[in-house]
Chain A
Amino acid sequence: MKPGTRLKSAACDTEVMVIRAADGTIECGGAPMDEAKPADAAPLAADFSAGTLMGKRYVDADGKYELLCVKPGKGSLSVDGVALVVKDAKPLPASD
């Protein structure tokens, strides 16, 4: 998956931009994400329904995946069934 690719959730309004990715399946609300939205919405899986937040970056434990939420929704993100977590950002003082 190329950096800059925009993926849409099949189960909710979430959209992400890929900053970094490997070969696994990126999912939202338990359903695979794609560049196009499917005609029929996928059901929102209960285990992946914590929601996404605008502007947050989501990462896996190994640092192989990083997704930027550019549109929030009700689903939550995962790769091959493993939930992604919000990247901790140390606040820096504004420098410009």
Chain B
Amino acid sequence: MNIALLLEMAAEAAPDRVGLVCEGKRWTYGDLLAAARGAFELIRQSDAQYVALLDESSEAAVIAVFGAALAGVPYCPLNYRLPDADLAALLGRIAPALVIGDEERITRLAGDQGHTVLSREEFSLKAQETVPAEDAREYDPGEGVAIQLFTSGTTAAPKAAILRHSNLLGYIFGTVEFGTADEGDAALVVVPPYHIAGISALLSSIYSLRRIVMLPAFSPEGWLSLVADEQVSNAFVVPTMLARIIEAMERAGAAGISSLRAIAYGGGKMPLEVIRKALELFPEAGFTNAYGLTETSSTVALLGPDDHREALASQDPAIRARLTSLGKPIPTVEIEIRGEDGETLGPGQPGEIYVRGEQVSGEYKEKSALDAQGWFPTRDAGYMDEHGYLFLSGRADDVIVRGGENMSPGEIEDVLLTHPAVADACACAIPSVEWGEAVGVAIVLRDGHEMPAEPDLKDLVRARLRSSRVPEKIVFLSELPYNEMGKLLRRKVKDVLAG
């Protein structure tokens, strides 16, 4: 089974329908398949072991992912925001590759690694112009790796996560029905191409025959005007994007967004304030919170539109709390919470989230992280309530262990955020001679507020939580370090607190 089947089916059913809009240019499914087949020829000619992309989203991302699949070579989109040294190291790990994108930078960083380098324009043009030879091509059967993604490395050096054709097709067949989008439907894709959500958006949209509208570089104004111009019906955003879209709407109004029927979000913790406001500003749209990881081929749990509205309208605190939940596992995956000794935990008990299913790869180039029964330890800490709603408390590696007592940074941060002067907060472990680890916090003050006295903040935590949660060290920063996907880089805060 080869993921190229998704595009082949779209082109078979609707060759002349527009499947992609990027920077004003429109591509039909027939165009995209022809270009993917042209890319197959280019890849074969280059003897590349990988097809890499070092670029923002464009048609090249679609052509490359399917061209690589047809050729049986893993597609490996790279994060162009990485510093030079990190990027050179990643390029070295995939040499020799056909690398598409920033020619000058690739040549400067990895000119001696044996890569074939093409600019985006060159690649797209050559892929369109290269017509497969007359004899029928033997395309790859799809028994191997379709995609290799380097993890973001927020806690350690980037790992090479691999997704097989079978994982990705398991996800698509399990979550999307072929050709179900209406002719006018359009999905706005703004997640970068090296993120799993950016890849799954392409696959899902093509299989459902939903037109992809690409926004290569996010700005709230650009996003809102593209929604209006292309009559976008579906969109996926990360929490920081949604917060900025809301700000822009509050500043400049929100004309022309009535076509938006479905907004999905994920990739980081959504602040309660932001999702509440979004539900008010988009009364007609259905919101879906998607939880997934690179290693699980995207979404494994979701909180759907009805759950959102029900939670917003409810007086019951348990139902209201669902707005901060990840929702329930999708029908084709199983989720369990396990304790430190690997035992399965019951409702309400916090532990590590484990996932199993066809779409779950849990595999790195070096080794598989799956256990003997096929379960993947996500390293995410969380719990499931008695109704099966999953709640996330943070990365398991971020848990602070003070004198044998485990505490999640999230609960401490949530309390600190209730202080009127606190705009943002991050709690993490600091070394302690007495306890092994203790709580340190970094705080960002809200504009126009006085700096609160340290004892006041400590009292706030003591009053709401146990005294063990009281921070031993507090620092004030002008801002917290986030990556471009809105993920808080706790490692960096930890360094500041240790200093």
A1-16 residues with Cβ-Cβ distance < 8 A to B are 3-4
Q: Cβ of A93 and Cβ of B302 under 8 Å apart?
A: yes
Q: Cβ of A54 and Cβ of B12 under 8 Å apart?
A: yes
Which residue of B173, B179, B234, B292 contacts A68 across the interface (Cβ within 8 Å)? B173
Which residue of B175, B180, B331 contacts A95 across the interface (Cβ within 8 Å)? B175
A47-89 residues with Cβ-Cβ distance < 8 A to B are 54-57, 68, 70-71, 89
Knowing A3-B166, A55-B178, A89-B177 are in contact, say whether A95-B13 is a contact too (CB < 8 A). no
| Complex interface bits, B282-312 against A, C-beta within 8 A gives 1, otherwise 0 | 0000101010100000110010110000000
Segment from B2-10, B17-25, B382-390, B478-486 that makes contact with A? B2-10
Chain A residue with minimal CB distance to B14? A54
Q: Cβ of A95 and Cβ of B266 under 8 Å apart?
A: yes
A95 CA / B177 CA spacing, docked (Å): 13
A56 CA / B5 CA spacing, docked (Å): 14
| Complex interface bits, B154-198 against A, C-beta within 8 A gives 1, otherwise 0 | 000000000000100000010111111000000100000000010
Q: Cβ of A4 and Cβ of B175 under 8 Å apart?
A: no
Chain A residue with minimal CB distance to B142? A4
Complex interface: chain B residues within 8 A of A44 (CB) = none
Q: Cβ of A55 and Cβ of B143 under 8 Å apart?
A: no
- CB A35 to nearest CB in B, in angstroms, measures 12
A56 CA / B207 CA spacing, docked (Å): 12
- CB A8 to nearest CB in B, in angstroms, measures 14
| Complex interface bits, A20-57 against B, C-beta within 8 A gives 1, otherwise 0 | 00000000000000000000000000000000001111
Q: Cβ of A96 and Cβ of B236 under 8 Å apart?
A: yes
Please count how many residues in chain A sit with their CB below 8 Å of the partner chain's CB atoms.
19
A35 CA / B394 CA spacing, docked (Å): 49
Complex interface: chain A residues within 8 A of B176 (CB) = 92, 94
Complex interface: chain B residues within 8 A of A68 (CB) = 173
Q: Cβ of B5 and Cβ of A93 under 8 Å apart?
A: no
Which residue of B12, B178, B266, B305 contacts A71 across the interface (Cβ within 8 Å)? B12
Chain A residue with minimal CB distance to B236? A96
Chain B residue with minimal CB distance to A66? B173
Chain A residue with minimal CB distance to B290? A95
Q: Cβ of B5 and Cβ of A17 under 8 Å apart?
A: yes
Q: Cβ of B9 and Cβ of A70 under 8 Å apart?
A: yes
Chain B residue with minimal CB distance to A90? B331
A91 CA / B173 CA spacing, docked (Å): 11
Complex interface: chain B residues within 8 A of A92 (CB) = 175-176, 302, 304, 330-331
- CB B204 to nearest CB in A, in angstroms, measures 6
Knowing A4-B2, A93-B286 are in contact, say whether A55-B262 is a contact too (CB < 8 A). no
A89 CA / B330 CA spacing, docked (Å): 12
A46 CA / B180 CA spacing, docked (Å): 30
Complex interface: chain A residues within 8 A of B9 (CB) = 54-55, 70
Knowing A4-B143, A56-B178 are in contact, say whether A94-B204 is a contact too (CB < 8 A). yes
Chain B residue with minimal CB distance to A71? B12
A96 CA / B197 CA spacing, docked (Å): 6
- Whether B1 is near chain A, meaning CB under 8 Å from some CB there, is yes
A96 CA / B189 CA spacing, docked (Å): 9
Q: Cβ of A96 and Cβ of B173 under 8 Å apart?
A: no
Which residue of A3, A54, A89, A90 contacts B1 across the interface (Cβ within 8 Å)? A3
Knowing A70-B9, A94-B264 are in contact, say whether A55-B177 is a contact too (CB < 8 A). yes
Chain A residue with minimal CB distance to B265? A95
- Whether B65 is near chain A, meaning CB under 8 Å from some CB there, is no
Complex interface: chain B residues within 8 A of A71 (CB) = 12
A90 CA / B304 CA spacing, docked (Å): 13
Q: Cβ of A70 and Cβ of B262 under 8 Å apart?
A: no
Complex interface: chain A residues within 8 A of B292 (CB) = 95
Complex interface: chain A residues within 8 A of B5 (CB) = 17, 70
Knowing A54-B12, A54-B179, A55-B177 are in contact, say whether A94-B288 is a contact too (CB < 8 A). yes
Q: Cβ of B264 and Cβ of A93 under 8 Å apart?
A: yes
Complex interface: chain B residues within 8 A of A89 (CB) = 177
A56 CA / B208 CA spacing, docked (Å): 12
A89 CA / B9 CA spacing, docked (Å): 18
| Complex interface bits, B130-161 against A, C-beta within 8 A gives 1, otherwise 0 | 00000000000111000000000000000000
Complex interface: chain B residues within 8 A of A17 (CB) = 1, 5
Q: Cβ of A55 and Cβ of B13 under 8 Å apart?
A: yes
Knowing A4-B141, A70-B12 are in contact, say whether A96-B201 is a contact too (CB < 8 A). yes
- Whether B259 is near chain A, meaning CB under 8 Å from some CB there, is no
Chain A residue with minimal CB distance to B298? A96
Q: Cβ of A95 and Cβ of B288 under 8 Å apart?
A: yes
Q: Cβ of A57 and Cβ of B173 under 8 Å apart?
A: yes
- Whether B240 is near chain A, meaning CB under 8 Å from some CB there, is no
Residues of A within 8 A of B (CB): 3-4, 17, 19, 54-57, 68, 70-71, 89-96
Residues of B within 8 A of A (CB): 1-2, 5, 8-9, 12-13, 141-143, 166, 173, 175-180, 187, 197, 200-201, 204, 208, 210, 234, 236, 262, 264, 266, 286, 288, 290, 292, 298-299, 302, 304-305, 330-331
Interface CB pairs A-B, < 8 A, 14 = A4-B142, A4-B143, A17-B5, A57-B173, A70-B8, A91-B180, A92-B175, A92-B304, A93-B264, A94-B210, A94-B288, A96-B197, A96-B236, A96-B298
In the complex, the 9 A-B pairs of residues with the closest C-beta atoms, listed nearest first: A55-B178, A95-B290, A4-B1, A96-B200, A95-B299, A93-B288, A96-B201, A93-B304, A95-B264
